[in-house]
């Protein structure tokens, strides 16, 4: 299925019918409208104008299009700000109020704003909740984007104090949990507790952590209330939200999405390139890193309580908001679209229908240009929609993975609050493990500690800093093999060192103690020796001391330090250091062989994705790729010679035996 994001209020009404007809002709089924339209729906407090939206819905529906309405709550109008200026958030870095004139200018801690947002939501769902032309709802827009989860406002401070009192009950319990005896930070009352901002040097670690938890909870409570408001009046319409990654939102997205019918993701492969690539490098500049788009898409699938997900916004050409905005290589919009379907997406919706001549996003491409002519990628998008329509079996095939990667926002928070090394980055660490698995063609599900792990043979924890007691019990009760990265179980949930030293509650099970962490600059690396080969240890090393009765054996050592780089037995692989990719590739190849997991090892910028009985071969490189191990009749799409920035799809379930 395909969709598009459309803003009828941006265009003369005389264009709507032609737009709708062209969308339908192009093969689009779904149209998203309404986000950011609050000032048009409620131009004056309490006075509503739905006439234009009624006509837009009728026009789109008459063309045979299905409609998704967004709540417009990401852009509170000026009259609301003027009436209640304290709904504006306060920047946590500067202490300055973030003003009107952009978007997401609201504070989750403001009761006045929450009430106003729920009121406009209720008015809308009462009007359209039984309208058969409306199929579903999107809540808000990209909750947490633009660093808007956390606020330094008076509202946030008051709510934080209440949140702390509900959590700890007594101030003595808070003092103990936070270790406030250090640096004379003890409190006598919850009302004394400030937000952990603007300190002379670093603020209390547990204080910072609880503030992030509180801020996440405020966003989730806001979203839960909106979902409940919609469901109260919309019994036969779905509810979703267009996510951006947890590394951007500072929200526990697993909790945020728990009550959605499915999760959606806004996919901008080139816009996110800078998160893992050197901006001065031309490598992947016009394609995106061959694993980064998949990394975020598969996270989205993992967030969905039903396993279902959409791409609600797909990059259709040049974007406007990154540090630099190159034009995609020819073929990449098609490749990204097929890649989303390969990972299980049900629908890909392009942002946007037509490029705008005004506003902050006027340089962002659409399917159509400002002059209503086809954009540079119009024909590519049209061909892709037509191509996908011929192969419904590829969309209905199921993703079935036996490997899971444990993720979660709290791991990111632990790493950001107490870095111990400015070079250690949670995103890059987690992405490295995922990247290596992709290069081996191993399918991965993203899970958190609360997920059911019974179906998996291999479970990987690249950066699980403070796993819970419940997760420890799960580890004990399953027969899966676990790969544990450096910093595993190095802290408690209060961001303290365990009294028995890391790995804390896992110490008895694993049979070792982390004596200290050794962090070094880029210029100071060590060699790792493993199976007669030499690899690189860098940035972070857990210095291990084995217990005399440890079930683990040292299988790789760090030269110079004469310490363990890896410990293993039939249940666990403990990697004590950040390493080069080659080390992880060889380790995972050996583990996969022992677990009888199929490998579809890739070459350069070629990526393989098995989905049911279909193998997707994606060529991210600038050169053609020859794949000779299948018969011509097995190719559902493409051929043995895969051009640059192209793909092939092969019907087979035994790929690993044919290479």
Region 52-60: what's the mean pLDDT?
Answer: 99
With cut-offs at 50, 70 and 90, classify the pLDDT of residue 656.
very low
Catalytic residues: 142, 313
Q: Which residues contact 104 (CB under 8 A, 6 or more apart)?
A: 74, 75, 141, 142, 145, 146, 148
CA 104 to each of CA 144, 222, 370: distance values in angstroms, whole numbers, following the listed order: 8, 13, 26
Q: Do the first three CATH levels of 403-595 and 606-658 match, i.e. the same topology?
A: no
Q: Which CATH superfamily is domain 606-658 in?
A: Golgi alpha-mannosidase II (2.60.40.1180)
**Cβ atoms within 10 Å, residue 9:** 16
Which candidate, 435, 474, 439, places its Cα nearest to that of 456? 474
Q: Which residues on adjacent β-strands are paired with residue 137?
A: 69, 239
Q: Which residues on adjacent β-strands are paired with residue 374?
A: 368
Is residue 141 marked as binding?
Answer: yes
Q: Which residues contact 73 (CB under 8 A, 6 or more apart)?
A: 38, 106, 117, 120, 121, 139, 140, 226
Q: Is the peptide bond before 352 cis (omega within 30 degrees of 0)?
A: yes
Residue 345 to residue 352: CA distance in whole angstroms? 19
Is residue 321 marked as binding?
Answer: yes
Residues 402-440 pLDDT 10s: 999 999 999 999 999 999 999 999 999 999 999 999 999
Q: What is the pLDDT of residue 282?
A: 72
Q: Which residues contact 396 (CB under 8 A, 6 or more apart)?
A: none
Residues 546-592 pLDDT 10s: 999 999 999 999 998 889 999 999 999 999 999 999 999 999 999 99
Region 251-271: what's the mean pLDDT?
Answer: 96
Residue listed under structure tokens 């809540």: 139
Please state the pTM of the whole predicted model.
Answer: 0.95
CATH classification (class only), 2-148+238-393 = alpha beta
Determine whether domain 403-595 maps to CATH 3.40.50.880. yes
**Cβ atoms within 10 Å, residue 386:** 11
Domain edges within the chain: 2-148+238-393, 403-595, 606-658
Q: What is the pLDDT of residue 280?
A: 57
With cut-offs at 50, 70 and 90, classify the pLDDT of residue 653.
low
Residue listed under structure tokens 């109008």: 77
The answer to whether the beta carbons of residues 273 and 285 sit under 8 Å apart is yes
Whether residue 657 is predicted with pLDDT greater than 60 in this model: the reply is no
Residue 215 to residue 223: CA distance in whole angstroms? 13
Q: What is the pLDDT of residue 442?
A: 95
Residues 580-637 pLDDT 10s: 999 999 999 999 999 999 998 988 999 999 999 999 999 999 999 999 888 888 999 9
The answer to whether the beta carbons of residues 7 and 33 sit under 8 Å apart is yes
Is residue 103 marked as binding?
Answer: yes
With cut-offs at 50, 70 and 90, classify the pLDDT of residue 278.
low
Region 535-539: what's the mean pLDDT?
Answer: 97
The pLDDT mean for the chain works out to 95
**Host H or E run for residue 656:** helix 655-658
Q: What is the DSSP string of 145-186?
A: TTTTS---SHHHHHHHHHHHHHHHSSHHHHHHHHTTTGGG--
């Amino acid at each position: 299925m395909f969709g598009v994001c459309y803003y009828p209020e941006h265009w003369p009404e005389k264009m709507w019918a032609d737009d709708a007809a062209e969308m339908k002709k192009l093969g689009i089924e779904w149209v998203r409208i309404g986000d950011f339209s609050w000032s048009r729906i409620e131009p004056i407090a309490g006075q509503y104008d739905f006439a234009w939206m009624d006509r837009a819905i009728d026009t789109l529906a008459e063309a045979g299009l299905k409609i998704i309405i967004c709540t417009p709550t990401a852009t509170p109008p000026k009259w609301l700000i003027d009436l209640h200026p304290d709904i504006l958030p306060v920047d946590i870095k500067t202490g300055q109020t973030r003003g009107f004139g952009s978007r997401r200018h609201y504070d989750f801690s403001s009761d006045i704003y929450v009430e106003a947002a729920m009121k406009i939501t209720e008015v809308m769902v009462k009007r359209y909740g039984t309208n058969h032309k409306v199929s579903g709802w999107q809540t808000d827009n990209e909750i947490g984007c633009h660093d808007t989860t956390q606020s330094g406002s008076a509202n946030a401070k008051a709510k934080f104090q209440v949140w702390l009192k509900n959590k700890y009950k007594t101030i003595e319990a808070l003092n103990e949990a936070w270790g406030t005896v250090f640096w004379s930070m003890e409190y006598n009352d919850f009302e004394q507790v400030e937000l952990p901002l603007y300190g002379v040097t670093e603020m209390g670690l547990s204080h910072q952590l609880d503030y992030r938890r509180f801020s996440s909870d405020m966003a989730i409570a806001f979203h839960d209330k909106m979902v409940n408001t919609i469901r109260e009046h919309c019994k036969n319409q779905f509810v979703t939200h267009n996510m951006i990654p947890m590394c951007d939102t500072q929200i526990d997205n697993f909790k945020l999405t728990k009550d959605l019918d499915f999760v959606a993701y806004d996919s901008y492969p080139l816009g996110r390139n800078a998160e893992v690539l050197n901006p001065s490098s031309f490598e992947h500049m016009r394609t995106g890193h061959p694993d980064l788009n998949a990394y975020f898409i598969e996270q989205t699938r993992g967030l969905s309580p039903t396993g279902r997900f959409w791409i609600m916004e797909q990059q259709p050409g040049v974007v406007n908001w990154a540090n630099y905005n190159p034009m995609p290589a020819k073929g990449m919009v098609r490749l990204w679209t097929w890649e989303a379907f390969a990972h299980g997406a049900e629908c890909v919706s392009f942002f946007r229908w037509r490029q705008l001549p005004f506003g902050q996003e006027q340089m962002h491409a659409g399917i159509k240009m400002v002059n209503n002519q086809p954009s540079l990628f119009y024909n590519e998008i049209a061909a892709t929609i037509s191509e996908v329509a011929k192969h419904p079996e590829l969309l209905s095939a199921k993703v079935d993975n036996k490997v899971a990667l444990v993720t979660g926002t709290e791991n990111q928070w632990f790493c950001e609050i107490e870095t111990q090394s400015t070079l250690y980055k949670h995103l890059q660490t987690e992405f490295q493990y995922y990247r290596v698995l992709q290069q081996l063609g191993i399918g991965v599900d993203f899970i958190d500690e609360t997920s059911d792990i019974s179906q998996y043979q291999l479970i990987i924890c690249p950066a699980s800093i403070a796993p819970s007691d419940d997760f420890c019990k799960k580890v004990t009760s399953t027969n899966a093999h676990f790969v544990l990265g450096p910093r595993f179980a190095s802290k408690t949930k209060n961001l303290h060192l365990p009294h028995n030293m890391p790995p804390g509650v896992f110490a008895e099970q694993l049979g070792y103690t982390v004596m200290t962490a050794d962090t070094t600059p880029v210029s100071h690396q060590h060699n790792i020796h493993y199976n007669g080969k030499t690899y690189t240890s860098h940035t972070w090393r857990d210095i291990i001391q084995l217990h005399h009765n440890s079930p683990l054996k040292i299988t790789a050592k760090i030269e110079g330090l004469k310490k363990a780089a890896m410990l293993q037995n039939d249940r666990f692989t403990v990697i004590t250091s950040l390493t080069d990719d080659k080390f992880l590739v060889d380790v995972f190849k050996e583990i996969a062989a022992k677990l009888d997991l199929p490998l579809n090892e890739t070459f350069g910028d070629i990526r393989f994705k098995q989905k049911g009985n279909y193998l997707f071969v994606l060529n991210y490189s600038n050169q053609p790729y020859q794949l000779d191990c299948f018969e011509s009749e097995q190719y559902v799409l493409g051929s043995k010679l895969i051009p640059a920035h192209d793909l092939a799809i092969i019907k087979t379930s035994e790929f690993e035996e044919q290479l």
